[in-house]
Structure formats: structure tokens, C-alpha cells
């Protein structure tokens, strides 16, 4: 991540995306506006369509220095993570390799994408270690303390060194027809682990979107992000040490 982007994210003050309405996602309208968050497509649709088509093109949204988002490529060809208008796109390959590129413009399409435009972020520091099993609970607590309305979906970022990071890049080519479960998708994905690394995590939290952009039983959807060398993937496990910086958006009244 560039020093300019990090400085911009650490500014305190007011600024954010115009509060959106509350339209719901459907087959006819694949976009939901929930507070400050835009949701394109759904996990349920993506998981039950072996080769899901694009519901949004990235060039409709990029370039934008205030854009943050995550999702999956059309036809489950890989993962998308967007931080401050820079997208890292990780493509899966049949030889169990991952090819990642960092771009500010792209003609790619997403089968699922969750985004928010954020100008200002407020940092907080974790008082103790947070395991993945406790992450949803602790994110909600820390966000509420930072003044975020946790009844609406919101993005958050984790900056710094983490341990036990496990992530995957989805690979639609490996999915057999009728393989709809999350376990099927994980088995077909290209998986990686990093024991101790400095990286950025971008997540979206919601109390009300299981099956839409979070999996059943989870309130967060999290990707890892690095631009040099490029890395982007869906986080399956991670531990945040004490003293980790977590950033929350500052929304205008």
C-alpha cells in the first residue's frame, strides 16, 4: 500500500459516501443499497450457479480513490479486492498457481462485489489478541466504540502484522456441476497460508446479510490485500496480535 494512501486513510474528520437508500437485491435488480454499502449479486446465487455471470463491470466503478470493495470474478475465475481505488485481482489457474495483478482500471466483471466509498478512516488499536473465531464479535464491539452504526453494513480494515493467515482464491474450473456447498468451493479453490506476515485485510461486516455477502453463521467477509508483490484472496483464518490497528469509516451525520 502506498504511503499516500495510508496517510489519507489515517486522517480523522468527516467524509463518506452519500447515504444510499434501502433497495434490495433481486434477479431483476442485482444491486442492493444498504446504508453506505453497495452489494452487487449474492453469495447464494454465486454458489448455486456453476459459472455465474457478471452482475457489475469494474469499469463502472473504477477509477475512484475512495472506493473499497471485495468480491469474486465472473465464472469464479478468481478474487477481487479494492483499496483506495486500486484493485488487486487474483486469477486462479489449473496448475494450482495464482496470478495476481494490481490495476486502477479494469474491464473485468464480478459475480459478487461489495463496495463502499470512504474518504476518512478512524484508527483503533486492539487491546489483546483476536482469534478468527472471535473476530465478528470483536469487530462489532470496536466499531460501536468508534461510533459506527453496527445495524447497517460497514467496511473495516486491518493494518499490520498478522499470524496464522489462511486464504483462498476460488477456481470455478474445478467445480463439478451441482457442487454448491461452501465445502465444495473450498475444496476446488487454490489455498495458501502465511504464518507471520505484514498485510492489509479489508472486511465488510453486517448483522443482516448472511447468504448475501457473508456466509451462513458469519457476519464478516474478509479479503487480504498486498500490492507488492500483488496478493488478493478470501480469508479463511487469521489471528490479530495485540496492538493491531483496525480502521473504521467515519460517516457524516
Q: At residue 8, does pLDDT exceed 90?
A: no
pLDDT score for 188: 86
CATH code, 103? 3.30.1330
CB 193 within 8 A of CB 144: no
Mean pLDDT of 33-59: 90
What pLDDT band is residue 93 in, cutting at 50, 70 and 90? confident
Same domain flag for 242 and 138: yes
Same domain flag for 140 and 244: yes
Q: At residue 13, does pLDDT exceed 90?
A: no
Same domain flag for 198 and 143: yes
Mean pLDDT of 100-112: 95
Mean pLDDT of 133-148: 96
Domain boundary among 81, 100, 117: 117
Same domain flag for 113 and 228: no
Same domain flag for 144 and 90: no
- Of residues 8 and 47, more confidence is placed in 47
pLDDT score for 208: 95
pLDDT score for 46: 83
- Of residues 189 and 251, more confidence is placed in 189
Dmax over CA atoms of the chain, in Å, equals 50
Same domain flag for 134 and 243: yes
CB 30 within 8 A of CB 56: yes
Same domain flag for 42 and 138: no
Q: Is residue 21 within a helix (H) or strand (E), and if so which, with residue range? A: none
Same domain flag for 167 and 109: no
pLDDT score for 231: 85
pLDDT score for 10: 40
pLDDT score for 133: 97
Same domain flag for 38 and 143: no
pLDDT score for 251: 65
Q: Is residue 76 within a helix (H) or strand (E), and if so which, with residue range? A: none
Domain boundary among 73, 99, 117: 117
Q: At residue 18, does pLDDT exceed 50?
A: no
Domain that holds residue 195: 121-249
> What is the Cα–Cα distance from 104 to 101, expressed in whole angstroms?
10
CATH code, 213? 3.30.1330.80
Read off the pLDDT of residues 212-222 as tens digits, 9 standing for 90 and up. Answer: 999 999 999 99
Average model confidence (pLDDT) across the chain = 86
- Of residues 13 and 252, more confidence is placed in 252
Share of the chain above pLDDT 70, in %: 86
Tally of structural domains, the chain: 2
Share of the chain above pLDDT 90, in %: 68
139-155 burial: b if 16+ Cβ within 10 Å, else e: bbebbeebebebebbbb
Domain boundary among 117, 135, 161: 117
CB 222 within 8 A of CB 167: no
What pLDDT band is residue 27 in, cutting at 50, 70 and 90? low
Same domain flag for 134 and 222: yes
Same domain flag for 205 and 233: yes
Q: Give the pairing type, strands 98-103 and 109-117.
A: unpaired
Read off the pLDDT of residues 175-221 as tens digits, 9 standing for 90 and up. Answer: 877 766 778 888 889 999 998 999 999 999 999 999 999 999 999 99
Same domain flag for 28 and 88: yes
What pLDDT band is residue 9 in, cutting at 50, 70 and 90? very low
pLDDT score for 2: 42
Cα-flanking dihedrals φ and ψ of residue 151, to 5°?
-80, -15
Distances (CA, A) of 16 to 35, 71, 81, 85: 11, 21, 19, 14
Read off the pLDDT of residues 113-140 as tens digits, 9 standing for 90 and up. Answer: 999 999 999 999 999 999 999 999 999 9
Amino acid at each position: 500500500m502506498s504511503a499516500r494512501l495510508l496517510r489519507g486513510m489515517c486522517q480523522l474528520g468527516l467524509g463518506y459516501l452519500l447515504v444510499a437508500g434501502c433497495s434490495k437485491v433481486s434477479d431483476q435488480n442485482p444491486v442492493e443499497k444498504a446504508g453506505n454499502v453497495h452489494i452487487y449479486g449474492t453469495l447464494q446465487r454465486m454458489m448455486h450457479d456453476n459459472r455465474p455471470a457478471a452482475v457489475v463491470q469494474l469499469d463502472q466503478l473504477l477509477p475512484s480513490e475512495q472506493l473499497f470493495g471485495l468480491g469474486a470474478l465472473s465464472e469464479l475465475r478468481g478474487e477481487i479486492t479494492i483499496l483506495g481505488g486500486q484493485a488487486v485481482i487474483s486469477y486462479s489457474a489449473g496448475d494450482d498457481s495464482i496470478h495476481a495483478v494490481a490495476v486502477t482500471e479494469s474491464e473485468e466483471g464480478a459475480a459478487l462485489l461489495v463496495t463502499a466509498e470512504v474518504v476518512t478512516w478512524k484508527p483503533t488499536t486492539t487491546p489483546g489478541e483476536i482469534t478468527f473465531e472471535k473476530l465478528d464479535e470483536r469487530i462489532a464491539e470496536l466499531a460501536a466504540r468508534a461510533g459506527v452504526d453496527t445495524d447497517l453494513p460497514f467496511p473495516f480494515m486491518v493494518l499490520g502484522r498478522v499470524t496464522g493467515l489462511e486464504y483462498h482464491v476460488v477456481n470455478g474450473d474445478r467445480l463439478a456441476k451441482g457442487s454448491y456447498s461452501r465445502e465444495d468451493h473450498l475444496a476446488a479453490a487454490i489455498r495458501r497460508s502465511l504464518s507471520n506476515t505484514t498485510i492489509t485485510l479489508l472486511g465488510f461486516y453486517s448483522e443482516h446479510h448472511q447468504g448475501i455477502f457473508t456466509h451462513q453463521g458469519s457476519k464478516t467477509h474478509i479479503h487480504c490485500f498486498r500490492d507488492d508483490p500483488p496478493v488478493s484472496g478470501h480469508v479463511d483464518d487469521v489471528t490479530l496480535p495485540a496492538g493491531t490497528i483496525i480502521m473504521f469509516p467515519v460517516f457524516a451525520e
